[in-house]
Amino acid sequence: MLIIIGNQKGGAGKSTLTLLLANFLTLVKKRKVTVIDMDYQQSLAQKYEKAKLAETPEHYEIIAAGLEHFPSMYTVLSQSREHIVIIDLPGKLDDDGLIPVFSSADLVLCPFSYDEFSFDSTVLFSVVLKKINPSGHLVFIPNRVKGNVRYDIATEVEEQLSRFGKITAPISDRVDFQRADTTQTPLSLFPVIVPVFDQIYTDHIEATGVTP
C-alpha cells in the first residue's frame, strides 16, 4: 500500500506528520513500514541517520530519494501488499516526476492550516491530484491548530475541501511535536494524534483488506 503525504505549501507539517504516522503504524499497529523522504530538506532521513549512529533500535527504514527514483523503487517495495510505503513529498507541483507517484497512491494525506494562503495551495494540490488519480482516496488533516485562535474561514474551507475528500478531526499545536523522532512519539501526543490516525487506519487501511 502506498500512502503519500503532501501539499504544495511548505510548512504544512508534512514531514512531522509522516514521522508520526510511521511511528503509529509500526509501534501501535505493528505494521511493516518503509518511509521514502522526497522532501528537499530531507529532515526525516537526517533524523534516521542520527538514530543509527546512536545505535537506537530502528522500527522502520527511511530512504532519501528523488522523484526520479520512484518507479524503480516502488516496483520492488510494492511486491508485498501488506508492506506500507509512506512518501513525504516535496512541496511543489511543477515536476513531471510527481505523475507516477500520484498515479500509484492508494491514500493521500494532505495537512493544511486554516488560512487563506494554505487553503489556496491545498485546493490546487487537490485539483492536480484528482486529475491524475481520480480514484485515489484524499484525506485532509487540519494541522497545528491553535486552541485559542478563532478561524473565521474554517467553515468555508471545510465546505470546499469536502468536495475532494474527507476531513479529519484537527491536530492541535503542541510543543512536544518537536520531541518526536524516528524511535518514539512522546506519550503526551497520543491523545492528539491517535484518534485521527485510528480513523484513517480503520477507514483506509483495514477497509482495503491490507492486514499484517
The predicted-structure confidence for 140-190, as pLDDT tens digits, reads as follows 999 988 876 677 778 888 999 999 999 999 999 989 999 999 989 999 999
* Sign of CA pseudo-dihedral 1, 189, 169, 144: negative
pTM: 0.92
Which CATH number is associated with domain 8-206? 3.40.50.300
C-beta separation of 25 from 31 below 8 A: yes
Average pLDDT (85-109) is: 94
Q: Where are the domains of the chain?
A: 8-206
The whole-angstrom separation of Cα 105 and Cα 90 is: 15
* Structure confidence at residue 159 (pLDDT): 92
> What are the pLDDT digits (tens) for 36-95?
999 988 999 999 998 888 777 789 999 999 999 999 998 998 888 789 999 999 988 889
CA dist 38 and 59 (Å) reads: 20
Q: Taking the alpha carbons of 35, 41, 44, 45 in that order, is the dihedral positive or negative?
A: positive
CB-CB contact of 108 with 138 (8 Å): yes
Residue with grid cell 503532501, as numbered in its chain: 6
Q: Is 212 exposed, middle or buried (0-12, 13-18, 19+ CB in 10 A)?
A: exposed
pLDDT of residue 209: 61
Summarised one tens digit per residue, pLDDT across range 8-52 is: 877 788 999 999 999 999 999 999 999 999 998 899 999 999 888
> What is the reported pLDDT for 96?
93
